[in-house]
Chains A and B, each alone.
Chain A
Amino acid sequence: MLNQIAQLGDLTLKRFNNTASVVKFALSVFWHAFLPQSYHPAMRMVLVKQIYFTAVQVLPVFIFIAFIFGSIIIGSVILLASELGVLNEIGSILVYFIFNEFSPFFTALLVALRSGAAVNSEIALMHVNYELNALQTYKIDPIDYLFLPRILSGVISVTGLAIVFSVIMLVSGYVFSVFFLQMELISYLRILLNAVSLDNILMLLLKSMTFGFFIMLLPIHSGLKTGSCYSDIPVAVLKGMVSLFVALFVIEAVSLLIWLV
């Protein structure tokens, strides 16, 4: 019994230390984001490349997936609203569902799966190969050169892609409204404009930015905690991705609470 309590205490301490380490790292990156000297030509080059890899390269596949899933989900919501007799509230339902919930979360999941895993393994490999050591020896701050552009690209990319996702879902919503509700475009737009508020748009932007920040921050932090062997890399990626997915659900829950309050 005592042994189990000791183990629980040990685990709690480990979790606490890890969380403290993530917070410290996040604050450090945040501080560097406001320093003009962080934005040297090499950093700007990495930032542009990272935005290309994270947001532009993925765009065709992203649009395809967004259209398929968006159509299914929006179709289901409209059908359900029709069955429950709440079609007069369809504008509010669509706006809340698209802006507040589905677009940022689904975009975050897609980017986390693709770029989060890539960044985690990249940083872990650099750590094992002494490349981070080389950067420090040559007085190149890894936060400025490696971490900040990746995190900024995460914030910009997830926000941009979430907006694209919202637009695609709204178009899907219109297609379904035409077929199931025989609604005209003008009517559809009027319903949406009446339903949307600044709070919805702010929630979409803030939530996407928060997701983007953590989608890059947590894999980088996990990569930095890798041991010295190549066999430690998959373990670091596994841990990083698990903590990232936990963080995504926590952010989702917290944002829901904020909205309800």
Chain B
Amino acid sequence: MASVKFFRRYAEMEAWINNHPEGIIVSDKTPLLANLTMKENIALIDEVHRLMPVQESQQRASSLLAKLNLTTIEEKRVGTCSDLELFATMLLRAERMPREAIYIVLPLLLLGHADAIEQTLALLTLLDSQKDIFILELTSNRVHYQGQACHISD
């Protein structure tokens, strides 16, 4: 289950991230590469960090997208995907990163609508990651997390 951490200010969140380098961030400051397809964006991590051949890494990326029921976006690029599809791809890219944790920074900002938290948690359930997943959020957005299936830690 994902844990949610609340911060009063963005600067505090940044400081926390800097003090916890064991995780990789998913945020609006780490967008996908616009000149690659969704599949290629995910595969890039394996190609660089595991020296996996391109064909094999792309097959793995395809299977990950299938796990989130997103096979239709494999060949799409940033401009033709919805915010949710982009977010899911960013999540899968972070999943392939050889790090122990994933920090999802301000999902409400990334997805841009009130259902963002439900959609994020639904994606995390489908992903079923073995990594520690933290949602980093501002205290002012705390109300959106009430009643959701996530662990809240302050």
Task: Tell whether, in the assembled complex, residue A138 and residue B45 are in contact, meaning their CB atoms are under 8 Å apart.
Answer: yes
Residues of B within 8 A of A145 (CB): 44, 48
Across the interface, B51 reaches (CB within 8 A) one of A41, A139, A140, namely A41
Given contacts A41-B54, A42-B48, A131-B33, 6 further A-B pairs with CB under 8 A are A41-B52, A41-B53, A122-B35, A126-B34, A131-B32, A138-B30
Q: Which residue of A lies closest to B56 (CB)?
A: A41
Task: Tell whether, in the assembled complex, residue A41 and residue B30 are in contact, meaning their CB atoms are under 8 Å apart.
Answer: no
Determine the main DSSP class of A at the interface with B.
Answer: helix
Task: Tell whether, in the assembled complex, residue A40 and residue B30 are in contact, meaning their CB atoms are under 8 Å apart.
Answer: no
A19 CA to B7 CA in the complex, in Å?
Answer: 44
Residue B112, interface by CB 8 Å: no
Tell me how far the C-beta of B103 lies from the nearest C-beta in chain A, rounded to whole angstroms: 11
Q: Which residue of B lies closest to A137 (CB)?
A: B30
Residue B47, interface by CB 8 Å: yes
Residues of A within 8 A of B54 (CB): 41-42, 45
Across the interface, A140 reaches (CB within 8 A) one of B29, B31, B48, B53, namely B48
Contact A134:B31 (CB < 8 A) given known A41-B57, A42-B44, A140-B44: yes
A122 CA to B25 CA in the complex, in Å?
Answer: 24
Residue A130, interface by CB 8 Å: yes
Across the interface, A137 reaches (CB within 8 A) one of B24, B44, B51, namely B24
Contact A130:B47 (CB < 8 A) given known A42-B54, A122-B35: no
Residue A129, interface by CB 8 Å: yes
- Interfacial residues of chain B within 35-65, with CB under 8 A of chain A in the complex: 35, 44-45, 47-49, 51-54, 57
Q: Which residue of B lies closest to A145 (CB)?
A: B48
Contact A45:B47 (CB < 8 A) given known A134-B29, A137-B25, A138-B93: yes
Residue B97, interface by CB 8 Å: yes
A137 CA to B99 CA in the complex, in Å?
Answer: 12
Question: How many residues on A have C-beta within 8 angstroms of the other chain's C-beta atoms?
Answer: 18
Residue A133, interface by CB 8 Å: yes
- Interfacial residues of chain A within 74-127, with CB under 8 A of chain B in the complex: 122, 125-126
A74 CA to B54 CA in the complex, in Å?
Answer: 46
Task: Tell whether, in the assembled complex, residue A129 and residue B57 are in contact, meaning their CB atoms are under 8 Å apart.
Answer: no
Residues of B within 8 A of A122 (CB): 35
Residues of B within 8 A of A130 (CB): 28-31
Please name 12 pairs of A and B residues whose Cβ atoms are closer than 8 Å in the assembled complex, sorted by A.
Answer: A41-B47, A41-B51, A41-B52, A41-B57, A42-B44, A42-B47, A45-B47, A129-B31, A134-B29, A137-B29, A137-B30, A139-B97
A26 CA to B35 CA in the complex, in Å?
Answer: 24
A134 CA to B48 CA in the complex, in Å?
Answer: 14
Q: Hey, what's the 0/1 contact readout for A238-255 against B, CB within 8 Å counting as 1? A: 000000000000000000
A150 CA to B47 CA in the complex, in Å?
Answer: 18
Q: Which residue of B lies closest to A129 (CB)?
A: B31
Residues of A within 8 A of B29 (CB): 130, 133-134, 137
Tell me how far the C-beta of B14 lies from the nearest C-beta in chain A, rounded to whole angstroms: 13
Tell me how far the C-beta of A178 lies from the nearest C-beta in chain B, rounded to whole angstroms: 48
Task: Tell whether, in the assembled complex, residue A131 and residue B31 are in contact, meaning their CB atoms are under 8 Å apart.
Answer: yes
Q: Which residue of B lies closest to A146 (CB)?
A: B33
Residues of B within 8 A of A45 (CB): 47, 54
Residues of B within 8 A of A41 (CB): 47, 51-54, 57
Residues of B within 8 A of A134 (CB): 29-33
A130 CA to B25 CA in the complex, in Å?
Answer: 14
Task: Tell whether, in the assembled complex, residue B51 and residue A40 are in contact, meaning their CB atoms are under 8 Å apart.
Answer: yes
Residues of B within 8 A of A137 (CB): 24-25, 29-30
